[in-house]
Protein backbone atom coordinates (compact mmCIF):
# COMPACT_ATOMS: atom_id res chain seq x y z
CA UNK A 1 0.00 0.00 0.00
CA UNK A 2 1.46 3.36 -1.07
CA UNK A 3 0.22 5.32 1.96
CA UNK A 4 1.74 2.80 4.38
CA UNK A 5 5.09 3.02 2.64
CA UNK A 6 4.93 6.82 2.52
CA UNK A 7 4.03 6.99 6.22
CA UNK A 8 6.96 4.76 7.12
CA UNK A 9 9.38 6.76 4.99
CA UNK A 10 8.25 10.12 6.37
CA UNK A 11 8.53 8.98 9.97
CA UNK A 12 11.90 7.35 9.34
CA UNK A 13 13.22 10.54 7.72
CA UNK A 14 12.09 12.61 10.71
CA UNK A 15 13.68 10.22 13.17
CA UNK A 16 16.91 9.84 11.23
CA UNK A 17 17.34 13.59 10.92
CA UNK A 18 17.64 13.82 14.72
CA UNK A 19 19.73 10.70 15.40
CA UNK A 20 22.02 8.19 13.73
CA UNK A 21 19.98 5.07 14.45
CA UNK A 22 17.84 3.12 11.99
CA UNK A 23 14.32 2.68 13.43
CA UNK A 24 12.72 -0.76 13.49
CA UNK A 25 8.95 -1.11 13.03
CA UNK A 26 7.65 -3.51 15.65
CA UNK A 27 3.91 -3.17 15.07
CA UNK A 28 1.56 -1.45 12.66
CA UNK A 29 -2.15 -1.46 11.96
CA UNK A 30 -4.87 0.39 10.11
CA UNK A 31 -7.55 1.75 12.43
CA UNK A 32 -10.62 3.99 12.33
CA UNK A 33 -11.85 6.73 14.65
CA UNK A 34 -14.32 9.62 14.80
CA UNK A 35 -12.88 13.11 14.44
CA UNK A 36 -13.18 15.03 17.72
CA UNK A 37 -11.19 18.12 16.67
CA UNK A 38 -9.46 19.44 13.54
CA UNK A 39 -6.18 21.36 13.64
CA UNK A 40 -5.25 23.50 10.63
CA UNK A 41 -2.55 26.03 9.88
CA UNK A 42 -1.26 27.69 6.76
CA UNK A 43 1.70 29.79 5.79
CA UNK A 44 1.62 31.06 2.26
CA UNK A 45 0.62 28.06 0.16
CA UNK A 46 1.93 25.53 2.71
CA UNK A 47 -0.65 23.83 4.93
CA UNK A 48 -0.82 21.69 8.06
CA UNK A 49 -3.72 19.39 8.90
CA UNK A 50 -4.25 17.00 11.81
CA UNK A 51 -7.16 15.37 13.61
CA UNK A 52 -7.88 14.41 17.20
CA UNK A 53 -9.58 11.02 17.55
CA UNK A 54 -10.19 8.66 20.45
CA UNK A 55 -8.16 5.45 20.52
CA UNK A 56 -8.24 2.93 23.35
CA UNK A 57 -9.69 5.49 25.76
CA UNK A 58 -7.11 8.16 24.90
CA UNK A 59 -7.26 11.20 22.64
CA UNK A 60 -4.55 11.05 19.99
CA UNK A 61 -3.41 13.39 17.21
CA UNK A 62 -3.44 11.90 13.73
CA UNK A 63 -1.29 13.89 11.30
CA UNK A 64 -2.26 14.40 7.67
CA UNK A 65 1.07 15.10 5.93
CA UNK A 66 -0.47 15.34 2.46
CA UNK A 67 -3.09 17.88 3.54
CA UNK A 68 -6.18 17.88 1.39
CA UNK A 69 -9.73 18.89 2.21
CA UNK A 70 -10.29 18.71 5.98
CA UNK A 71 -12.75 16.17 7.35
CA UNK A 72 -15.47 17.45 9.71
CA UNK A 73 -15.93 16.81 13.41
CA UNK A 74 -17.90 13.56 13.74
CA UNK A 75 -16.57 12.09 10.47
CA UNK A 76 -14.89 8.71 10.69
CA UNK A 77 -11.33 8.61 9.39
CA UNK A 78 -8.96 5.76 8.73
CA UNK A 79 -5.41 6.08 10.01
CA UNK A 80 -2.16 4.16 10.20
CA UNK A 81 -0.85 3.37 13.71
CA UNK A 82 2.81 2.42 14.00
CA UNK A 83 5.16 1.51 16.85
CA UNK A 84 8.87 1.92 16.18
CA UNK A 85 11.94 1.12 18.25
CA UNK A 86 15.29 2.88 18.21
CA UNK A 87 18.16 1.37 20.12
CA UNK A 88 18.58 3.07 23.51
CA UNK A 89 15.21 4.89 23.37
CA UNK A 90 11.67 4.00 24.48
CA UNK A 91 9.35 2.83 21.65
CA UNK A 92 7.77 5.58 19.54
CA UNK A 93 4.08 5.54 18.63
CA UNK A 94 2.85 7.51 15.61
CA UNK A 95 -0.45 8.01 13.80
CA UNK A 96 -0.93 9.12 10.19
CA UNK A 97 -4.16 9.83 8.28
CA UNK A 98 -4.93 7.52 5.39
CA UNK A 99 -7.10 9.39 2.96
CA UNK A 100 -7.20 10.39 -0.66
CA UNK A 101 -4.35 12.60 -1.80
CA UNK A 102 -5.55 16.06 -2.85
CA UNK A 103 -4.83 15.26 -6.51
CA UNK A 104 -6.39 11.79 -6.20
CA UNK A 105 -9.86 13.07 -5.29
CA UNK A 106 -12.14 12.02 -8.14
CA UNK A 107 -14.03 14.73 -9.99
CA UNK A 108 -17.77 13.99 -10.20
CA UNK A 109 -18.97 13.07 -13.68
CA UNK A 110 -21.07 15.70 -15.42
CA UNK A 111 -24.61 14.60 -16.35
The pLDDT value recorded for residue 11 is 65
Q: Is residue 31 part of a domain?
A: yes
Q: Is residue 78 part of a domain?
A: yes
Q: Is residue 7 part of a domain?
A: yes
Range of the domain at 59: 2-102
Q: Is residue 107 part of a domain?
A: no
pLDDT in tens, 22-77: 667 688 999 999 999 999 999 999 999 999 999 999 999 999 988 878 999 999 99
* Higher local confidence (pLDDT), 67 or 80: 80
Q: Is residue 109 part of a domain?
A: no
CB 10 within 8 A of CB 65: yes
Q: Is residue 110 part of a domain?
A: no
Q: Please tell me the total count of domains within the chain.
A: 1
Look up the CATH number of the domain holding residue 66.
2.40.50.140
- Enter the pTM of the model: 0.68
The pLDDT value recorded for residue 5 is 64
Amino acid sequence: MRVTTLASLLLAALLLSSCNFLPKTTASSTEKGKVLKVYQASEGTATFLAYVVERKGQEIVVSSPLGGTPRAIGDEIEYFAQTMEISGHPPILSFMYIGPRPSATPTPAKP
